[in-house]
Amino acid sequence: AIGRGFAISALGSITYYVGIVYVPSFLIGTGRMGEADALTLSTLAALVVILVTPLVGALSDRIGRRPVLIALALAGIALPALLFALMAQGSALGGALIGAILLAALGGAVSAVGAVTTAEQFPGEGRLSGLAFGATSATALFGGLTPYLSHQLTQASGWASAPGWLIAIVALGVLPVLWRLPESAPKRQLPC
């Protein structure tokens, strides 16, 4: 359960912290936007997260946590590198806006389902300890270090897609764990 919680939180942390928190620095660093515009875009991204969270949460209540997380991990493999490249090459109102909004939607979606799924991996009496070991350590590593690592890789290599590849690598590594994840969504009662 601790390993599953770590994996789910790793995916949630890297998609959120690199895909949302790091994006304004990325846009400023690549010269695509000034600081004020990048922070405005960050605010729009936060609004997207607010909109996506209940929708994806409701979907996971309806069809299950596991299939939603698997679909989001697949999106995490396929999209982020393309979206960072789009943000680096596109105009402020075109590519940067689309890339940032889609990354925010992915980060918000994973966080919406990941938080509850991680907690559901543990029985009530061991939940706090399990979350402390699994989820918190993953958040520290993949939330705290990866924005810095993203910046360093982008600066050293000049490769704008590097942050997206970090997300893709983590999503690929987490996918086998999600594939074997026991379903934890509540069972739906059929109407009589």
Every domain of the chain and the residues it spans:
2-179
82-86 long-range CB contacts below 8 Å, 24 or more apart? 82/161, 82/164, 83/164, 84/26, 84/160, 84/161, 84/162, 84/163, 84/164, 85/160, 85/161, 85/164
pLDDT per position as a tens digit, 109-150: 999 998 888 888 777 776 777 677 777 788 888 888 888 999
Among 23-27, 38-42, 88-92, where is mean pLDDT lowest?
88-92
In this predicted structure, what is the pLDDT of residue 190?
A: 47
* Single pTM value for the model: 0.87
In this predicted structure, what is the pLDDT of residue 57? 93
- What's the full length of the chain, in residues? 192
**CA–CA separation, 86 and 98 (whole Å):** 8
pLDDT in tens, 49-86: 999 999 999 999 999 999 999 999 999 999 999 999 98
Class of domain 2-179 (CATH, top level): mainly alpha
